Amino acid sequence: MSTPDLGGVVVATALPYRADEAAPAGLAVDYDAYAAHCRWLIDNGCRGVGPNGSLGEYSSLTDEERRRVARTAIETVGEDGIVVVGVHGPGSHQARHWAEVAAEDGAGGLLCLPPTMYRANRGEVLAHFEAVASVGLPVMVYNNPIDTKVDLTPALLAEIAQIDNVVAVKEFSGDVRRVLEIREQAPGLDVISGADDVVLESLLMGATGWFAGFPNVFPAESVRLFDLARAGKLDEARALYEPLVAAFRWDSRTEFVQAIKLGMDLVGRYGGPCRPPRGPLTGDHHEQVTADMGRALASLGVA
């Protein structure tokens, strides 16, 4: 039996809100706009979407909103792509609950961080992913040591890869040396680039996917970059990639959600505001994102 594939360009979708005084923080999820965004990403060549990730502000949603966001993505994408639902939770019982809900609603796969509010040890990390994987959907574990303070090292991933249904890792350490280390120590585990500003380097070293932020802004161009890199067309890939990297670096910064939403606004899509704890960009940050996006757009012939 072949291993389920969660590779390709899967977009960690940003979530649009509309003003509503009765909603949390005065912002209601705009499900129609979200569905239209998911459809646009698929129509522009992306393989799939990833609702309820950090970029999707899952931790600012009510339980009802969180499930409806995932359902909206699943119903919108249908058979035209894959939907990899974020099931992050403080403990294994919460993460498994969200995995069970995602399975009931028809998700194609799961993305899961280690415990999100607790610096778990090796045994606790393994137990966490065992609980999520027991639901039966293919699981992409998510290494984000910056936010979780838990590093899924290549050695630990070699153990995690032995869990049935764990098929991939979203690697967000920023250390491109990890790609080969993981492939050596956990050869059955697909490595998915999780940081936009090292995606070309990761793909050239053997990553098979890009779980991406800035393709919310540049989906077709991002798919082209991915295809060029996977085909080994380095000169063409570099020419496309280098002018985009200044914008892509915002994907690894604290204000990445606000920056990507501003990028969407700048290309005529709707990014809009964020719910707390995320506030608006400072004036300096707004200016810098705008400048970095301007360079990217000029290189793409959009400006």
Element (H, E) at 48: strand 48-50
Catalytic residue check, 241: no
DSSP state of 28: E
Token digits of residue 234: 């380095």
- For residue 193, the tally of other CB atoms under 10 A from its CB is 28
Q: How far apart are CA 213 and CA 247, in angstroms?
A: 11
- For the chain, helix (H) and strand (E) counts, in that order, are 13, 10
Token digits of residue 176: 């491109």
Q: Which of 170, 156, 236 is nearest to 202 (CA)?
A: 170
Q: How far apart are CA 54 and CA 100, in angstroms?
A: 20
CA dihedral sign of residues 26, 97, 75, 55: positive
Q: How far apart are CA 128 and CA 124, in angstroms?
A: 6
- For residue 284, the tally of other CB atoms under 10 A from its CB is 8
Q: How far apart are CA 283 and CA 228, in angstroms?
A: 36
Q: Of these residues, 17, 142, 241, 261, which one is catalytic?
A: 142
Q: Of these residues, 17, 31, 170, 241, which one is catalytic?
A: 170
Q: How long is the chain?
A: 303
Token digits of residue 151: 């590093």
State the residue for tokens 């058979």. Answer: 79
Q: How far apart are CA 101 and CA 72, in angstroms?
A: 13
Q: Which of 229, 246, 224, 237 is nearest to 293 (CA)?
A: 246
Q: Which residues are catalytic?
A: 142, 170
